[in-house]
């Protein structure tokens, strides 16, 4: 193996088996695991974010799992800085490390760097948040469509945080959010080897439904109930909690909330797949592929670089 550094990055839709694969690879390469799952950073959220269980966490050294509070102001820019700092430290011990997660933006931040965006007046975000609460997400969607059609067509349009962020840049800078994207980035001191797990859509959807059922059996409703008092926090604007908050508010029945969790998780998985399929560097494997075949492919890739 050369003296270069390699970051094996495992991606794919939710519930596909990324955690299990990351642990197998970490054990084989004697590496640590960097989690780039933006939902698993928060220590108050365990069941609804599918945090690795005690046995899994004990099987390999993980970083950025439940290391923050929902009350912390933590974003993708801060994660980029923290993850790169941790990787610099880990590469001193082993030139091969693992990163795993389904949050495409957070993965891209580590592998390629973030786009630069100007600072804007905080009052703009406050106004947009008020508009979201009073008029709903549709009003923000229409505004974004008017100001920046390119971004409207490319981001998760049902994600209030993403829409608010894009709009505050459009309004504050008077320049479309998309015009700040895809600028030259800082080079990295490692080579990324990207591994993607996939399956037929029906299999993915069945795995999602089973995972949600297991979360409910393990106490998801109770976990959400304990977080309900803080339901307006950014960290809690996520699938699995948002629907149960609507149940607690009397807007949904419990059965409907559960069906919405499953439906919205399936939609999330579809968006993840769309995001990752655009990346021509990802080496795709069926989720049931023998681990040795994946290891051999990674080893060949390292030896060829």
16 is in an annotated binding site: yes
CA distance 92 to 156: 37
Q: What is the pLDDT of residue 77?
A: 87
- Burial class for 290, CB neighbours closer than 10 Å (0-12, 13-18, 19+): exposed
* 17 labeled part of a ligand binding site: yes
Asked if 223 and 48 count as a contact pair (C-beta separation under 8 A), the reply is: yes
Domains identified in the chain and CATH numbers:
6-114+185-304 (3.40.50.300), 122-180 (1.10.20.140)
Residue 176 half-sphere exposure toward CB, CA atoms < 13 A: 12
Which helix (H) or strand (E) covers residue 163, if one does?
helix 160-173
> Is 14 a known ligand-binding residue?
yes
| pLDDT number for residue 156 | 84
Which residues of the chain fall short of a pLDDT of 70? Answer: 1-3, 183-185
83/106 Cα distance (integer angstroms): 10
- Confidence at residue 183, expressed as pLDDT on a 0 to 100 scale: 67
pTM as predicted: 0.81
pLDDT for 3 equals 54
**What per-residue confidence (pLDDT) applies to 117?**
79
CB 40 within 8 A of CB 51: yes
HSE at residue 30, side-chain half, CA atoms within 13 A, is 4
Residue 138, SS3?
helix
Q: Residue 12 annotated as binding? A: yes
Give the C-alpha separation, 211 to 260, whole Å. Answer: 14
Of 206, 131, 207, which is closest to residue 168 (Cα–Cα)? Answer: 131
Residue 178: helix, strand or coil by DSSP?
helix
């Amino acid at each position: 193996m050369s003296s270069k550094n390699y970051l094996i990055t495992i991606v794919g839709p939710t519930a596909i088996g990324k955690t299990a694969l990351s642990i197998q690879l970490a054990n084989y390469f004697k590496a640590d695991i960097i989690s780039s799952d933006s939902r698993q950073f928060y220590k108050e959220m365990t069941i609804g974010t599918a945090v690795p269980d005690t046995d899994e966490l004990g099987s390999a050294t993980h970083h950025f799992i439940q290391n923050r509070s929902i009350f912390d102001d933590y974003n993708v820019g801060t994660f980029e800085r923290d993850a790169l700092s941790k990787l610099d430290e880990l590469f001193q011990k082993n030139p091969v490390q693992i990163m795993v997660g389904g949050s495409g933006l957070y993965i891209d931040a580590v592998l390629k760097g973030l786009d630069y965006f100007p600072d804007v007046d905080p009052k703009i975000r406050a106004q947009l948040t008020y508009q979201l609460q009073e008029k709903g997400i549709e009003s923000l969607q229409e505004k974004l469509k008017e100001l920046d059609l390119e971004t409207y067509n490319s981001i998760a349009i049902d994600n209030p945080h993403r829409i608010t962020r894009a709009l505050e840049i459009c309004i504050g800078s008077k320049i479309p959010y998309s015009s700040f994207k895809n600028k030259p980035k800082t080079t990295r001191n490692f080579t990324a080897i990207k591994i993607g797990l996939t399956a037929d859509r029906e299999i993915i959807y069945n795995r999602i439904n089973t995972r949600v059922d297991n979360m409910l059996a393990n106490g998801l409703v109770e976990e959400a109930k304990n977080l309900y008092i803080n339901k307006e926090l950014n960290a809690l604007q996520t699938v699995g909690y948002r629907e149960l908050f609507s149940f607690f508010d009397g807007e949904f029945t419990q059965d409907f909330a559960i069906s919405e969790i499953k439906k919205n998780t399936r939609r999330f998985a579809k968006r993840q797949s769309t995001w990752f399929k655009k990346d021509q560097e990802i080496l795709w494997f069926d989720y049931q592929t023998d681990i040795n075949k994946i290891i051999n492919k990674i080893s060949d890739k390292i030896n060829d670089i």
